[in-house]
Amino acid sequence: MPGSKLGIFPAAGGLGGSTIKHLLPRIPAANLVLIARYPDKLAAESAAGAVVRRADYDDEASLQRVFDGIGALFLISYASCEYEHRAEAHRRAIDAALRSGVKHIFYSSLAFAGNLTKETVALVMRAHLATEAYLEELARQRRDFTYTAIREGLYHESFPIYTAFFDPLNPVDEIKIPHDGSGPGVAWAKREELGEATAKLIAQYATNPQAFPYMNKTILLSGPKVLTLKEVVDILGRLIGKQVRIKQVSVDEYAAQPQIAPRLTYHGVNLAKEWATAWDAIRRGECAVVTPHLREILGREPEDFETTVRRLIGG
């Protein structure tokens, strides 16, 4: 992509940070445009030579021209589980990118909806599917635009949201969720390794777009093994030296727990009951699909769930 740069937005979060870390050995810092709500968080990358700009999904004016000079953009999804607000935020950013001349968008989707299907019962996946569909529509309409949707596996580090925000440092005996813990489960993946694999895909495209194998396609990056929620909870208990069990409860009882609403309220709306559709999706096997892509791109076996969580809790 002569004369154009690689962009990442938002660039200061967990997945963005990991992707940047693994891009820098492969792409000169001066070829990167890093866009974040709080640019000061990218001071080290700026010092290394990257261009740093400010924009916010919820500030439409900030998106205008912020993608200028970028040939390929890694668009990281809006951080919430909403549907309409989130999907519209993605659409605004994509439209702004196209007006600025972006030719290819990598989009960080999520590993619900099974083996690259377009159906889900999970609220958290609906905006992702809408965004994937919008990118596909744009690629059909415009000969000068392509995309790659990367369905990033459910992070090892995200286990709290699927276990009623279980805290290993202040553990409870019972995890109350609307699921009994049985299979199908989740093909969990480490966020750092997802960032590494994403960086390698972006660098591969930047080096030779014509040979890039995921042009106008969706790729699922899953972990190598499916763990049921009971197996996840057993691992947590073993790591903290305390017996922990799942108690299946109604959606209403789950949502009424005091730790739930503060973490699942977006723009003043408590989405705890709607979030519970994630367990319906897990029960249907939407997150239990294993692909070899993460292992192949990394060139090694991905880290297992227990190893990641042991490090997280300092065990």
Residue 62 exposed, middle or buried by CB count within 10 Å (0-12, 13-18, 19+): middle
- Tokens representing 195 are 């960032």
Q: Residues 224, 302: contact at Cβ < 8 Å?
A: yes
What gap in Å lies between CA 74 and CA 148, rounded to an integer? Answer: 9
Identify any residues that bridge with 76 across adjacent strands, giving them in sequence order. Answer: 108
Q: Does domain 5-153+189-221 have CATH number 3.40.50.720?
A: yes
- Tokens representing 82 are 């909403």
Residue 219: in which H helix or E strand, if any? strand 217-221
φ, ψ of residue 256 in degrees (nearest 5): -80, -10
Residue 300: closest CA among 191, 224, 232, 201:
224
Query: What is the amino acid identity at position 1?
Result: M
- Residues with Cβ < 8 Å from 70, sequence gap 6 or more? 4, 5, 6, 7, 33, 97, 100, 101, 102
This prediction's pTM? 0.96
Q: What is the pLDDT of residue 2?
A: 46
Query: Helix (H, G, I), strand (E, B), or coil: what is residue 98?
Result: helix
What gap in Å lies between CA 194 and CA 295, rounded to an integer? Answer: 10
Q: What is the pLDDT of residue 315?
A: 57
Question: What residue spans define the domains of the chain?
Answer: 5-153+189-221, 157-184+224-288+304-314
Query: What is the amino acid identity at position 252?
Result: D
- Tokens representing 283 are 């029960």
What gap in Å lies between CA 167 and CA 115, rounded to an integer? Answer: 31
The CA-CA-CA angle for residues 70, 72, 75, to 5°, reads 100
Q: Residues 275, 264: contact at Cβ < 8 Å?
A: yes
Length in residues, the chain = 315
Digitized pLDDT (tens) for each residue of the chain, 315 residues in all: 445 899 999 999 999 999 999 999 999 999 999 999 999 999 999 999 999 999 999 999 999 999 999 999 999 999 999 999 999 999 999 999 999 999 999 999 999 998 899 999 999 999 999 999 999 999 999 999 999 999 999 999 999 999 999 999 999 999 999 999 999 999 999 999 999 999 999 999 999 999 999 999 999 999 999 999 999 999 999 999 999 999 999 999 999 999 999 999 999 999 999 999 999 999 999 999 999 999 999 999 999 999 999 999 885
What gap in Å lies between CA 112 and CA 119, rounded to an integer? Answer: 9
Q: What is the pLDDT of residue 4?
A: 83
- Specify the DSSP class assigned to residue 115: T
**CA distances (Å), 255 to each of 156, 188, 233, in order?**
23, 24, 20
Q: What is the pLDDT of residue 247?
A: 98
Q: What is the pLDDT of residue 115?
A: 86
Topology of domain 157-184+224-288+304-314 in CATH is UDP-galactose 4-epimerase; domain 1 (3.90.25)
φ, ψ of residue 12 in degrees (nearest 5): -105, 5
